[in-house]
Structure 1
Amino acid sequence: MASKGFDATSLPGFTAIAAIAFIALYAPIITLVGYSFNGANSISSWGGFSFRWYEAAWANATVQEATIRSLVIAASASLIATTAATMAALGTTRRGSFGGQTFIYVMINQPLMVPEIVTAVALLIVFASVKVATGYTGLGYLILAHAAFCIPFAYLPIRARLEGMDLSLETAAADLYANPWQTFRHVTLPLVLPGIIAGAMLAFVISLDDVVITEFVKSAGQDTLPTYMLGQLRRGVTPEVNAISTVLLGLTVLLLTVFFLLTRKRD
């Protein structure tokens, strides 16, 4: 009789623990989405179904400015991060093993391993010195800070895509007298493009949702949507914050779904 492999679902209490975990994870989110349609002024008492707070958020000039600023920063940071991550991934995968390879991997992924508050304080010190020296206080600091933090998030799916590609295709292109640029443009880039798009979307989501680094680096009048919401929580919560959170959640889920579809393994 063939021995059966270990099955975690057969352990006593597995179903109950899994159900509790899912409830703990998703019940607050479901509650948030539900109360974003609350017609009352209070976030704790139900006043009937209404789009009132979505309309209020849509008409709020401050929310509009913060949203546009968030999108500009996230788009710019993801573009920079994805470009740098693509070059790093090409340099670390389209060649044989080399000395210091592990060290380079560690340095690229350093923002993932260091607490975000440490990165934020370090960026604050550096950019404060630059601000004093140059007098520039624009969005460039936030864009660079977000790009630096997002590089490893973009790097991982691009690297994974490249590692799954056969080098023989690029070797064949070289045998047919294609120069390195032609090989990259006509062979490597089309094959790695899904990984690049996935990395860019992941970097965009990380930048869009960031609070800690933004709080430390931003200047006056540079609130993003998450930092605006944090400020509203300090002044008193209204269901308008629930509506904004629900829209942000929906956008994040949409982008992560596309990310999953692009990076999942196909038979």
Structure 2
Amino acid sequence: MLKKAGVKLYTFIIFLFLYAPIIALIIFSFNNSRTMGVWKGFTFKWYLQLFHNRRILRALYYTVLIAISSAVISTIVGTISSIAIYKLKGFKKKLTLNITNLPVLNPDIVTGIALMSLFTFLSIKLGLLSMLLAHITFGIPYVILSVLPKLKQLPTNLEDAALDLGATPRYTLRKVILPLIKPGIASGFLMAFTMSIDDFVISFFTAGPGVTNLSIEVYSMAKRGIKPEINALSTLMFLVVLFLLLIINRKDSKGGGKKFEEI
């Protein structure tokens, strides 16, 4: 009994430590004070002012636009690259994997400076295009790392069996390979999307005048003081993500139940 109580207490402390900052942020998004140090009553005014703050809304627009665009392109390129890497053998495969892992292991500040130097050398104006290309660059390795394990789980003779049954290589890829590695593709997309929204350092070095995302906007606000509208926006983003996770988990549980019934 004591052991179970200790485990429950330890789990509670861990979750409290992880989610206490988020809970505090949500509570103070309804605070009637501009500072988080004093509670001056309950209000919704920061949520109303959020939709009138053009600067924050513009940063949110660029954040979502770049995150979705880079995640989609990274997923397509990363999936194709994963299949190509999976078919390589020996030294070529090891070398390609090591090169692919470099952007993940490389410090963000090095990647950011390198990309900024490259864009300047190629006379690419820093702005929306440069930031999008930068996010695609560091998103592709995460997709590859998510898709490759799913490819390794496939039977080695699966493609040959499909070809022996009369399927063309393109049909085999579209109807056999891709459906089986779909969970890895979805995980890679979510990883690329999350990393894009979360990124600051690389975005800071590759963003141009007039183009900014939420992380850069919050950083610039920190010098003058974080506005309460950011708390409201963060709360809304957290609730949207939580809602999407609940929907996905509900669909997965229903799908698992149907598959169990079929078996």
Shared topology, TM-score over 0.5? yes
| C-alpha separation in 1, matches of 2:251 and 2:22 | 26
Aligned to 1:216: 205
Of 71, 75, 83 in structure 1, the residue corresponding to residue 76 of structure 2 is: 83
Offset at 1:177?
2.6
Aligned to 1:206: 195
Letter in 2 for 1:208: I
Q: Check conservation: 2:218, 2:226, Cα contact below 8 A.
A: no
Offset at 1:41?
2.1
Offset at 1:155?
1.7
Verify: 1:54 aligned to 2:47, yes or no. Answer: yes
Q: Check conservation: 1:173, 1:183, Cα contact below 8 A.
A: yes
Q: What's the Cα RMSD here?
A: 2.9
Offset at 1:207?
0.5
Aligned to 2:142: 153
- 1:168-187 matches, within 5 Å, as 168-187=157-176
Aligned to 2:85: 92
Offset at 1:74?
0.9
1:260 and 1:148, CA in 2 relative to 1: closer, same or farther beyond 3 A? farther
| C-alpha separation in 2, matches of 1:30 and 1:86 | 37
| C-alpha separation in 1, matches of 2:143 and 2:39 | 41
| C-alpha separation in 1, matches of 2:215 and 2:152 | 35
Aligned to 2:17: 24
Of 37, 48, 51 in structure 2, the residue corresponding to residue 44 of structure 1 is: 37
| C-alpha separation in 1, matches of 2:57 and 2:183 | 31
Gaps of 5+ in 2: none
Gaps of 5+ in 1: 1-8
Identity percentage over the alignment? 33
1:263 and 1:188, CA in 2 relative to 1: closer, same or farther beyond 3 A? farther
Of 225, 232, 239 in structure 2, the residue corresponding to residue 243 of structure 1 is: 232
Aligned to 1:232: 221
* Number of residue equivalences: 254
Offset at 1:48?
2.1
Letter in 2 for 1:206: M
Q: Check conservation: 1:202, 1:255, Cα contact below 8 A.
A: no
Any idea what SS the aligned residue of 1:151 has?
helix
Letter in 1 for 2:206: V
Aligned to 1:64: 57
Offset at 1:32?
1.2
Question: Under a length normalisation based on structure 1, what TM-score does the superposition of the two structures give?
Answer: 0.83
Any idea what SS the aligned residue of 2:63 has?
helix
Q: Check conservation: 1:70, 1:225, Cα contact below 8 A.
A: yes
| C-alpha separation in 2, matches of 1:183 and 1:258 | 31
